[in-house]
């Protein structure tokens, strides 16, 4: 499998993963059932990928990578009414951003001719028929979980009549919904998916890849199974909701039997498309569920179309594009997937696990910078007004390889307003009138005067700096309770800082008891924007550069809006879990 430029490197020292899917793969290789592993990631291009897809991507591509196999990216574009090239581009971007590259880029539409020939074969073999029931009538005939269905009155049409009608469907003779091609399986099956499911429907909708060539389109289950068989997929990995669809998947693969009927593949051979036809095995695993989120594409789409968020890549969205703009890193999402693991048991992961994975990655790799988001001026009166100097600060306290930077220091500083209390609460360790605190890297200051405006609001603090208390000096060793950060007022760069938080205020936004919906649970404080001040080295960060603003949290330079002359930072995550205390 070809590696992306920033793809996940093979780690020979990494512990061997022992989840049940990887064990199946090992057993299949050991037994000789397969000599090469083939997987695929098969998104539908009808929306942006969300965090749940990250688990599928890491599994599909990760297994191919671990076992020296191949993973295809295949767009299941069988419903053109809901699909858009914008989504195709975003999905490819997401896969590469996570660190993977596909062996081959495919589309279900590449195989439309093969699907059609396969459907004709099923008709000729007596395994499919053209049905004239309406969608409502089909539901009536289907039965229920406790009652068997009834055969369609059109089920016993002759092979000749079915072929004629199906070919006329293909020729565009009939209107949308007039007829369907259905598999002839068992209307009494305990699995409703096997009660003569539809294989093709009439839909006079242009397709982004095939134009007006097709007035009929295959159903997802049919196309997905045969697409896997065409590509020689060995292990078709799906989430648990497809478990009940597996018998239909196997029925399609077995009854078409591409390996035994290579003439069905002739359209692909004529176009020179590589074919590795085989018999795939579908294996299901639990999806990634995280509380305080919604992952329904329909609901995510509604959030965008109703203007409840600022687009698909709004940093509050749980799309991969949104998480990326929020400052989540590929490594943090891969770490999350590794921690959640692969199992057959559905469960809901606490949001703190997601945030914890990001904190762990950023703590190890994000350079440190200073910023002030709610500024209060601090004037050091025992320094000349024109005083300025550069102080050396490590870029990371635990990684000397990241080097040092020069931070300008002058007689007028910005500090955080909440680092001063005129009447301190119990246990207060920061600045108070007449009290001392350590200025990060600069020494110890004492507050001598509090300046207020006509309304009684504090507008300035005046302080004196102990010149013998610089780091490394003897005076720096005396005990002072608090250390605060700062930026030089003269050198700081004004920045827009967007303070993002969880989009929903309840653990299960999908819970509609009491007539409330996920719209009613949107967190009104999920986005606040403030003008802060950052040190020059922070302003010079490149787009998508993650930083820790000391004592404030982890932030990222916005990938679209950030400029050195006009910095824009998004808060990725706080330094500690601020929601645990709310629970």
Q: Are 539 and 564 in contact (CB under 8 A)?
A: yes
Is 570 labeled as ligand-binding? Answer: no
Q: Which residues face 236 on adjacent strands? A: 282
User: CA dihedral defined by 399, 400, 403, 407, rounded to 10 degrees?
Assistant: 80
| 159-182 pLDDT tens trace | 999 999 999 999 999 999 999 999
- State residue 4's pLDDT score: 44
Ramachandran assignment for 96, one of left (phi > 0), alpha (psi -120 to 50 degrees), beta (any other): alpha
CA–CA dist 292, 138 (Å, integer): 37
- State residue 8's pLDDT score: 54
Q: Are 289 and 295 in contact (CB under 8 A)?
A: yes
Is 257 labeled as ligand-binding? Answer: no
Residue with tokens 């009447």: 423
Tell me the two tokens of residue 372.
Answer: 């002030």
- State residue 579's pLDDT score: 78
Residue with tokens 């400029």: 563
- State residue 14's pLDDT score: 56
Q: Are 462 and 379 in contact (CB under 8 A)?
A: yes
Bridge pairing between strands 546-549 and 553-557:
antiparallel
CA–CA dist 400, 505 (Å, integer): 40
Alpha carbon 350 to its chain's center: 16
With helix as H, strand as E and coil as C, how does 370-420 read?
Answer: CEECCEEEEEECCCCCCCEEEEEEECCCCCHHHCEEEEEEECEEEEEHHHE
Is 56 labeled as ligand-binding? Answer: yes
Is 135 labeled as ligand-binding? Answer: no
Is 290 labeled as ligand-binding? Answer: no
2 vs 57, 175, 309, 418, CA distance in Å? 15, 45, 36, 52
- State residue 17's pLDDT score: 77
CA–CA dist 446, 406 (Å, integer): 25
What residues have CB less than 8 Å from 300, skipping those under 6 apart?
47, 48, 50, 294, 312, 317, 318, 319
Local structure of 194: helix, strand or coil? helix
What residues have CB less than 8 Å from 308, skipping those under 6 apart?
302, 519, 522
Is 44 labeled as ligand-binding? Answer: yes
| 533-564 pLDDT tens trace | 999 999 999 999 999 999 999 999 999 999 99
What residues have CB less than 8 Å from 225, skipping those under 6 apart?
248, 249, 250, 252, 253, 280
Is 457 labeled as ligand-binding? Answer: no
Q: Are 27 and 60 in contact (CB under 8 A)?
A: no
- State residue 273's pLDDT score: 85
CA–CA dist 562, 544 (Å, integer): 9
Is 382 labeled as ligand-binding? Answer: no
| 489-512 pLDDT tens trace | 999 999 999 999 999 999 999 998
Regions of the chain where pLDDT drops below 50: 1-7, 10, 12
CA–CA dist 166, 172 (Å, integer): 10
Q: Walk me through the domains of the chain, giving residue ranges and CATH numbers.
A: 20-110+220-285 (3.40.50.620), 112-217 (3.90.800.10), 297-367+495-574 (2.40.240.10), 371-484 (2.40.240.10)
CA–CA dist 255, 118 (Å, integer): 9
Is 288 labeled as ligand-binding? Answer: yes
CA–CA dist 115, 227 (Å, integer): 9
Q: Are 288 and 141 in contact (CB under 8 A)?
A: no
CA–CA dist 461, 448 (Å, integer): 8
| Strands lying side by side in the sheet with 70-75 | 38-41, 70-75, 105-107
Q: Are 446 and 463 in contact (CB under 8 A)?
A: yes
Write out the catalytic residue numbers: 44, 287, 297
Rounded to 5 degrees, what angle do the CA atoms 513, 517, 519 make? Answer: 155
135 vs 131, 139, 156, 198, CA distance in Å? 10, 6, 19, 10
Which one, of 51, 53, 55, 68, lies nearest residue 103 by Cα? Answer: 68
With helix as H, strand as E and coil as C, how does 143-190 read?
Answer: CCCCCCCCCCCCCCCCHHHHHHHHHHHHCCCCCCCCCEEEECCCCCCC
Q: Are 199 and 222 in contact (CB under 8 A)?
A: yes
């Amino acid at each position: 499998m070809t590696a992306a430029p920033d793809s996940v490197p093979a780690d020979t020292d990494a512990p061997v993963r022992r989840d049940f899917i990887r064990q199946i793969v090992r057993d299949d290789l050991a037994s000789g059932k397969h000599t090469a592993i083939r997987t695929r990631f098969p998104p539908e291009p009808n929306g942006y990928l969300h965090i749940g897809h990250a688990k599928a991507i890491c599994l599909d591509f990760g297994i191919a990578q671990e076992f020296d196999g191949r993973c295809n990216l295949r767009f299941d574009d069988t419903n053109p009414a809901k699909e858009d090239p914008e989504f195709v581009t975003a999905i490819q971007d997401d896969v590469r951003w996570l660190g993977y590259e596909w062996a081959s880029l495919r589309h279900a539409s590449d195989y439309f001719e093969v699907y059609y020939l396969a459907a004709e074969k099923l008709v000729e073999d007596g395994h499919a028929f053209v049905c004239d029931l309406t969608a409502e009538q089909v539901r009536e005939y289907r039965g229920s979980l406790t009652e068997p269905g009834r055969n369609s009155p059109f089920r016993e049409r002759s092979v000749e009549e079915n072929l004629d009608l199906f070919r006329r469907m293909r020729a565009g003779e009939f209107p949308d919904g007039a007829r369907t091609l259905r598999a002839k399986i068992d209307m009494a099956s305990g699995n409703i998916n096997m009660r003569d499911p539809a294989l093709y429907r009439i839909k006079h909708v242009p397709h982004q890849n095939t134009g007006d060539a097709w007035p009929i389109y295959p159903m997802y289950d049919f196309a997905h199974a045969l697409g896997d068989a065409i590509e020689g997929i060995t292990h078709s990995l799906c989430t648990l909701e497809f478990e009940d669809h597996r018998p239909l998947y196997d029925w399609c693969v077995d009854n078409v039997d591409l390996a035994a009927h290579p003439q069905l593949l002739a359209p692909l051979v004529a176009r020179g498309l590589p074919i590795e036809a085989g018999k795939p095995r579908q294996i299901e695993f639990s999806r990634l569920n995280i509380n305080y989120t919604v992952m329904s594409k329909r609901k995510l789409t509604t959030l965008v179309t109703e203007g409840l968020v600022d687009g698909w890549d709004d940093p509050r969205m749980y799309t991969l594009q949104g998480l990326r703009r929020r400052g989540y890193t590929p490594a943090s999402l891969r770490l999350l997937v590794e921690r959640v693991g692969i199992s057959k048991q559905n469960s809901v992961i606490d949001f703190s696990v997601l945030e914890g994975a990001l904190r762990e990655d950023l703590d190890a790799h994000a350079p440190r910078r200073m910023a002030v988001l709610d500024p209060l001026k601090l004037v050091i009166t025992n320094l000349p007004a024109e005083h300025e100097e550069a102080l050396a600060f490590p870029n990371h306290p635990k990684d000397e390889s990241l080097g040092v930077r020069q931070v300008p220091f002058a007689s007028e500083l910005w500090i955080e307003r909440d680092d001063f209390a005129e009447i301190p609460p119990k246990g207060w360790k920061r600045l108070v009138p007449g009290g001392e605190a350590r200025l990060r890297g600069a020494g110890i200051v004492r507050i001598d005067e509090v300046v207020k405006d006509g309304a009684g609001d504090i507008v300035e603090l005046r302080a004196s700096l102990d010149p013998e208390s610089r780091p490394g000096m003897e005076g720096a060793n005396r005990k002072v309770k608090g250390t605060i950060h700062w930026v030089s007022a003269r050198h700081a760069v004004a920045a827009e800082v967007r303070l993002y938080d969880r989009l929903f205020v309840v653990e299960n936004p999908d819970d509609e008891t009491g007539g409330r919906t996920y719209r009613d649970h949107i967190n009104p404080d999920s986005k606040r924007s403030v003008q802060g001040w950052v040190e020059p080295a922070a302003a010079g960060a490149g787009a998508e550069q993650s930083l820790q603003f000391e004592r404030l949290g982890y932030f990222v330079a916005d990938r679209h809006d950030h400029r050195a002359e006009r910095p824009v930072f998004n808060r990725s995550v706080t330094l500690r879990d601020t929601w645990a205390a709310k629970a």
